[in-house]
């Protein structure tokens, strides 16, 4: 019944609650660069990675634009994308 109403009751990352936590957490070694790309189909979102700041953030997802530096949380509009480099 809930799916017929087209009103989401949960928003999950990578398709399931806890999909990227615990044993399934993404891991990087100290000194490795991590590029995080986040796209959002229909809802505004604010990615926030616990324990760090995006050294370089392309809030609109366009690498030709100059990046914002040192963002803890950034805004991704519905229907848009964003990227962050953790250095």
Model confidence pTM above 0.75: no
Q: Which CATH number fits domain 2-86: 1.10.630.10, 2.60.40.420, 3.30.230.10, 2.40.50.220?
A: 2.60.40.420
Share of the chain above pLDDT 90, in %: 26
Please, are residues 83 and 34 in contact by the beta-carbon 8 Å criterion?
no
- Please give the average per-residue pLDDT across 6-29, as a whole number: 81
pLDDT, mean over the chain: 85
Q: Residue 86, SS3?
A: strand
pLDDT tens for each residue of 43-80: 888 888 777 788 999 988 899 999 999 988 889 998 99
């Amino acid at each position: 019944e809930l799916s017929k109403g087209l009103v989401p009751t949960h928003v999950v990352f990578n398709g399931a609650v806890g999909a990227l936590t615990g044993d399934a957490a993404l891991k990087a070694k100290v000194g490795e660069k991590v590029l995080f790309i986040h796209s959002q189909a229909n809802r505004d979102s604010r990615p926030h990675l616990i324990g760090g700041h995006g050294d370089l953030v392309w809030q609109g997802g366009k690498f030709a634009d100059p990046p914002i530096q040192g963002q803890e949380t950034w805004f991704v509009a519905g229907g848009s994308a964003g990227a962050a480099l953790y250095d």
